[in-house]
């Protein structure tokens, strides 16, 4: 059972990732997924968003695309009704050094406390059965657009922030955060279209 099963904010998720096995020289996608749980769509979205946004980790070439693949796979499986998310070995075996991971975690700790102060159970109906699936569709669209976003300045950051807002909204049952995620998704896609056309 995942440590994140009863988590309700960003600080708890970061603390969960910080407590992962410390004797390993590298941290794999499998380590992170195991820590947050294979049944937890909200926390997985939050992790994908944070890794895309985080300095050091998010700046690694290909990392936004890797997180996009994670979001695509979990979103599709949620939409078809799976309760436990399956992820391919080639994805879960990808890893980064523990040093880089720990630096990113420390960087996120202070803003996490500020973000948690903004969260609350608001418009909770948006985080129900239908709301989660609408969110999954939006996240699927974002993830499919993320690979080309790596070549458009700041658009991948917008996508990462949108995923983070969606994850926060589902974890904290905060419909306001979900609404902000939908708004930011629209803005991000507008920026991408302007640059492509």
pLDDT tens for residues 30-40?
888 888 877 77
Record the pTM: 0.83
Per-residue model confidence (pLDDT) at position 155:
66
pLDDT band at 100 (very low <50, low <70, confident <90, very high): confident
pLDDT average, residue stretch 141-170: 81
pLDDT average, residue stretch 162-182: 92
pLDDT average, residue stretch 153-179: 86
| Nearest CA among 165, 184, 187 for reference residue 176 | 165
CB 184 within 8 A of CB 159: no
* Range with lowest mean pLDDT among 71-80, 92-101, 159-168: 92-101
How many angstroms separate the CA atoms of 96 and 56, rounded? 10
Q: How far is CA 135 from CA 13, 69, 82, 118, in A?
A: 20, 16, 16, 20
Question: Does the pLDDT of residue 183 top 90, yes or no?
Answer: yes
Backbone torsion region of residue 87, taken as left when φ is above 0, otherwise alpha when ψ lies between -120 and 50, otherwise beta: beta
Q: Per residue, what are the HEC states of the chain? A: CCHHHHCCCHHHHHHHHHCCCCCCCEEEHHHHHHHHCCCCHHHHHHHHHHHHHCCCCCCCCCHHHHHHHHHHHHHHHHHCCCCCCCCCHHHHCCEEEHHHHHHHHHHHHHHHHHHHCCCCCECHHHHCHHHHHHHHHHHHHHHHHHHHHCCCCCHHHHHHHHHHHHHHHHHHCEHHHHHHHHHHHHHHHHHHHHHHC
Per-residue model confidence (pLDDT) at position 98:
85
């Amino acid at each position: 059972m995942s440590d994140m099963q009863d988590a309700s904010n960003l600080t708890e998720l970061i603390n969960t990732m910080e407590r992962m096995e410390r004797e390993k020289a590298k941290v794999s996608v499998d380590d992170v997924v195991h820590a947050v749980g294979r049944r937890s769509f909200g926390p997985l979205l939050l992790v994908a968003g944070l890794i895309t946004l985080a300095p050091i980790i998010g700046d690694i070439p290909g990392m936004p695309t890797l997180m996009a693949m994670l979001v695509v796979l979990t979103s599709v499986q949620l939409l078809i009704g799976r309760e436990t998310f399956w992820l391919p070995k080639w994805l879960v075996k990808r890893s980064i050094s523990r040093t880089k991971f720990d630096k990113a975690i420390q960087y996120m700790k202070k803003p996490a406390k500020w973000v948690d102060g903004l969260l609350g159970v608001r418009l909770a109906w948006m985080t129900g059965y239908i709301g989660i699936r609408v969110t999954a569709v939006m996240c699927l669209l974002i993830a499919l657009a993320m690979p080309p976003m790596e070549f458009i300045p700041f658009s991948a950051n917008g996508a990462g922030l949108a995923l983070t807002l969606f994850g926060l909204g589902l974890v904290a049952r905060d419909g306001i955060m979900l609404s902000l995620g939908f708004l930011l998704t629209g803005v991000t896609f507008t920026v991408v279209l302007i640059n492509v056309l």
